[in-house]
Chain A
């Protein structure tokens, strides 16, 4: 019974390695660290057309694997980032870019945050200006103020003779 925990740990380790072997690992060879960084950056900002909320770095759909391979091959052949992204956009459409270009169709998308902030400022400014403009009316009329003074005078013990 003393060996039970050890046995359990051993079983767990075995299961963990078996699980890790379940997915075929992918190896891309890079000459420099910078190249690898560039590759990671590229596959992080390309979107999988099949599993639409994942980038091709995270997705294990076959199409994402093909796209990663293509990115790697194009990188090895000396293509620039724009050329690589362009090659995939030509095949799969603008959809694969997480950052769509600013053009006539996307201007509202890109412009909306600025429009919303501007609109918010205008509303706040409007409210502030309007509240300032209201002439500071005396809270009490002259008659009422006289009454208040009267009442206070009555209550004040020092004024009582």
Chain B
């Protein structure tokens, strides 16, 4: 018994070591969305391209889509744009844009320079839908299934690796189910 007790510090140290090692490499700034498994919040916002047209949550019915939150003022959005173009053109992904706390003119100049990968763009100058979605740092990309339910949220830029390793598996899983 006494002998075994001598191993106690070693066991404790290994236990704490495993616990701490598990935390290494995790990015604490990436939070899981509170909306996973819930429908896209109700909204009523203008179409960026056609100011007279009002869009609502029915936009996400019928097809799996990516909802990409972006703005002209967001530097990382410039970085990821080329990859969004690639996703839309090469992979045929339906990407809905949420133009977040931006100005229409700036949004257009951004798209003129970098191209337009979006099937539709929701114009949210006051960030109201962004707030309901729990957006805390653009760019963010949501996977939304054909029923309009949020399935995944990625915070940060989308690139080829994020697509292959994270988003595509989620989409495959969602499409297999719905």
**Which single residue of chain A is at the shortest CB-CB distance from B28?**
A52
A19 at the interface (CB under 8 A from B): no
Name the CB-closest residue of A to B36. Answer: A93
Given contacts A49-B136, A50-B136, A63-B136, contact A89 B127 (CB under 8 A): no
Question: Dominant SS at the B interface?
Answer: loop
A132, B131: Cα distance in complex, Å: 64
Residues in B1-59 with C-beta less than 8 Å from chain A: 28-29, 31-35
Total number of A-B contacts with CB less than 8 angstroms?
33
**A66: which of B29, B31, B34, B127 is its contact (CB, 8 Å)?**
B127
In the A-B complex, list the 6 residue pairs whose CB atoms are closest, starting with the nearest: A93-B34, A49-B136, A91-B134, A92-B134, A63-B136, A50-B136
Q: Are A93 and B133 in contact (CB under 8 A)?
A: no
Q: Report whether over half of chain A's contact residues are helix, strand or loop; otherwise say mixed.
A: helix
Annotate B113-147 by CB proximity to A: 1 below 8 A, 0 otherwise. 00000000000000100011111110000000000
Instruction: Determine whether B101 belongs to the interface, using a CB cutoff of 8 Å to chain A.
Output: yes
- Alpha-carbon separation in the docked complex, A89 to B134 (Å): 9
Give the A interface residue count (CB, 8 A): 14
* Residues of B that sit less than 8 Å from A by CB: 28-29, 31-35, 101, 127, 131-137
How far apart are the CA atoms of A89 and B35 in the complex, in Å?
10
A60 on the B face (CB < 8 A) = no
Q: Is A41 an interface residue (CB 8 A)?
A: no
Contact mask A48-69 → B, CB, 8 Å, 1/0?
0110100000000011001000
A62 to chain B, nearest CB (A): 7
Cβ of A90 within 8 Å of any chain B Cβ, yes or no, is yes
Cα(A70)–Cα(B28), bound, Å:
25
For the complex formed, measure the closest distance between the CB of A133 and the CB atoms of chain B, giving whole angstroms: 15
Note all chain A residues with C-beta closer than 8 A to B131: 66, 70, 91
Residue in A closest to B130 when the chains form the complex, CB atoms? A66
B32 touches A92 (CB 8 A): no
Identify which of A89, A90, A92, A94 contacts B136 (C-beta below 8 A).
A92
Question: Known contacts A62-B101, A66-B127: does B31 contact A49 (CB below 8 Å)?
Answer: yes
In the bound complex, how far is the Cα of B32 from the Cα of A52, in angstroms?
14
- Name which of A49, A50, A62, A94 has the most chain B CB atoms within 10 A of its CB: A49
Residues of chain B contacted by A93 (CB below 8 angstroms): 31-34, 134
- Quick one: given A62-B101, A66-B127, A91-B134, are A52 and B35 in contact (CB under 8 Å)? no
Is A110 interfacial (CB 8 A cutoff)? no
- Chain A residue with Cβ nearest B136: A49
Contact B34 A91 (CB under 8 A): yes
Measured between alpha carbons, how far is A70 from B128 in the docked complex, in Å? 10
CB of A112 closer than 8 Å to a CB of B: no
Is the CB of A95 closer than 8 A to any CB of chain B? yes
Closest Cβ neighbor of A62 among chain B residues: B101
Chain A 87-114 interface mask (CB, 8 Å, partner B; 1/0): 0011111110000000000000000000
